[in-house]
Amino acid sequence: MEYRELGTTGIEVSTIGLGTEHLPPQPEVMADIVAVATEAGANFIDVLQIDPTGDGAYIWNGLGPLIREYREKLVLSCHWGIGYLYDLDSCKRTFPEALKHVGNDHIEVAMMTMVGEPGRTGDWLDASLKELERYKRDGHIGCIAASMHDVGAALDVVNTGAIEALMFAVNLTQHDDERQQALYRACEAHDVGLIAMKPFSAGLLLQVEGEPTSISPLQCLDYVLAQPVATVVPGVRNAEEMRASLRFHTASGKAKDHTPALATVYQELAGHCVHCRKCMPCPLGIDITSIIAMMNWARDGVQDWIKGMYDAQRVKPSACDRCGACLQPCDFDVDILGVMYRATELFEPTA
């Protein structure tokens, strides 16, 4: 296993880590995954679920004992807020609970979640930083980080010097995106350690509409680790997926060479949104990428939480005037206007 320093924090992380977003609720499966990861020398675990007494209980019930068992070998990231549970009162309540579950009342990385999204800028960000700085002074956290989805917002936060690490999507779909390169340069200039999430673009780089692409997991990881990142955190569902990522360090150069994938990625993913957000901002204020995500989630039915997210949108797709401003920047020829129309039909049948 290769290790890199996380920025200038002095924290050494394995280049292949573990993302927990897709862990199944079976404790025995979690145990297998963590055993495989630690035996290979992987030490970085990002725990997305933050509420050990609420929605995240299934993760902490299975993962908590494993974290405590392997604690001396691990570099642990825990989140300050998640999804809808990000208001300051919720963060102040859940974060101490997570600290109790790790075994030594200390985590190496405190991760503010989805900074830059609605409600997670300005006063919320300032207040969150003050809280986490207090935790750091008291010795409960090693460094302060942020997970983000928007390049422009990430650049703004990195350039303030307020964070020591950034978790951001890094994958083949961005290989010629100058905005992404600018973000890498800013991280290096401000000594911000980069944690790469979504190395497979939520699986889209490997499988499109049920059919495998010509791109392999090894090629995806080779591209990511060729960028100035400290670690990459694939979200795995079982021990075999963990092994597949860990094979990166024993695979031949030819097997993992990502160069051929660069020539095919646009063709392979044509018509599919990779959430690069180049289509934004919409002149009317529609959150295009969020609407596309909701339509993907609703393929098997509109659950209440999806409808709730849609209803909370400040400007809904029904406002779309088909100006087409979103189409030209899209590298993957997504039928954005069609998606906006279908979203209106699905979520606002009387609009």
Q: What is the pLDDT of residue 84?
A: 74
pLDDT in tens, 177-230: 999 999 999 999 999 999 999 999 989 999 998 899 999 999 999 999 999 999
On the question of pLDDT at 148 being above 90, the answer is: yes
| Exposed e or buried b per residue across 64-89, where buried means at least 16 C-beta atoms within 10 angstroms of its C-beta | bbbbeebeeebbbbbbbbbeebbeee
My answer on whether 309 and 223 are in the same domain is: no
Give the per-residue pLDDT at 300: 86
Phi, psi (rounded to 5 degrees) for 146? -140, 140
Taking residue 330's Cβ as centre, other Cβ atoms within 10 Å add up to 17
Q: Answer yes or no: is 313 within a domain.
A: yes
pLDDT at 119: 82
pLDDT at 351 (0 to 100): 57
pTM of the model: 0.91
State the angle between helix axes of 336-347 and 288-297 in degrees (0 to 180), rounded to the nearest 10.
60
Does 295 lie in the same domain as 248?
A: no
Question: How many domains does the chain divide into?
Answer: 2
Query: At residue 328, does pLDDT exceed 80?
Result: yes
Long-range contacts from 310-315, C-beta under 8 angstroms, 24+ separation: 310/343, 310/347, 311/347, 313/286, 313/287, 314/118, 314/285, 314/287, 315/282, 315/284, 315/285, 315/286, 315/287
**Bigger pLDDT: 286 or 50?**
286
Do 9 and 151 lie in one domain? The reply is yes
Q: Which string of DSSP letters, residue by residue, matches 56-95?
A: THHHHHHHHHHHHHSGGG-EEEEEE-BTTB-SHHHHHHHH
User: H-type helices in the chain, by residue range?
Assistant: 27-39, 57-69, 88-101, 122-137, 151-160, 178-189, 217-225, 239-246, 253-256, 259-268, 288-297, 304-311, 336-347
- Confirm whether 281 is domain-assigned: no
C-alpha dihedral, 146 to 149 to 153 to 155, nearest 10°: 70
Q: What is the pLDDT of residue 173?
A: 94
Work out the mean pLDDT of the chain and round it to a whole number: 93
Cα–Cα distance between 332 and 269 in angstroms, integer?
A: 7
The answer to whether the CB of 317 falls within 8 A of the CB of 341 is yes
Q: Are 250 and 182 in a shared domain?
A: yes
Q: Tell whether 271 is covered by a domain.
A: no
Which CATH number characterizes residue 193's domain?
A: 3.20.20.100
Residue 120's pLDDT band (boundaries 50, 70, 90)?
confident
The tens digit of pLDDT for each residue in 33-77 reads 999 999 999 999 999 988 888 878 898 999 999 999 999 999 999
Residue 266 included in any domain: no
Give domain status of residue 247, yes or no. yes
Q: What is the pLDDT of residues 220-263, one digit of tens each?
A: 999 999 999 999 999 999 999 999 999 999 999 999 999 999 99
Residue 262 domain flag: no
Cβ atoms of residues 205 and 220 within 8 Å: yes
Mean pLDDT of 267-280: 90
Instruction: Note whether 324 and 246 are same-domain residues.
Output: no
| Residue 147 sits in the same domain as residue 294 | no
Check whether residue 234 and residue 337 sit in a common domain.
no
Whether the Cβ atoms of residue 262 and residue 310 lie closer than 8 Å to each other: no
What is the rounded CA–CA span in Å between residue 138 and residue 191? 23
Note the pLDDT of residue 121: 87
DSSP code of 282? Answer: -
Tokens of 201: 């673009």
> Does a structural domain hold residue 61?
yes
Q: What is the pLDDT of residue 130?
A: 97
Number of helices (H), then strands (E), belonging to the chain: the values are 13, 12
Q: Which one of 205, 234, 257 terminates a domain?
A: 257
- Whether 244 and 320 map to the same domain: the answer is no
Q: Domain range holding 107?
A: 3-257
What pLDDT, on the 0 to 100 scale, is given for residue 11?
97
Assess whether 36 and 149 both reside in one domain: yes
Rg of the chain on CA atoms, in Å: 20
- Say if 185 falls within a structural domain: yes
Give phi and psi for 13, each to the nearest 5. -120, 145
232 has which bridge partners? 16, 196
Rounded CA-CA distance 201/122 in Å is 29
Torsion sign (Cα): 143, 148, 154, 157: negative
Distance of CA 200 to the CA centre of its chain: 11
The torsion region of residue 214 among left (phi > 0), alpha (psi -120 to 50) and beta comes to: alpha
> E strand or H helix at 231, and its extent?
strand 231-232
How far is Cα 4 from Cα 229, in angstroms, rounded to an integer?
Answer: 9
SS3 of residue 272 by DSSP? coil
Top-confidence range, 7-11, 79-83, 293-297: 7-11
196 and 99 in one domain? yes
Residues 247 and 311 in one domain: no
Same domain (yes/no): 203, 330: no
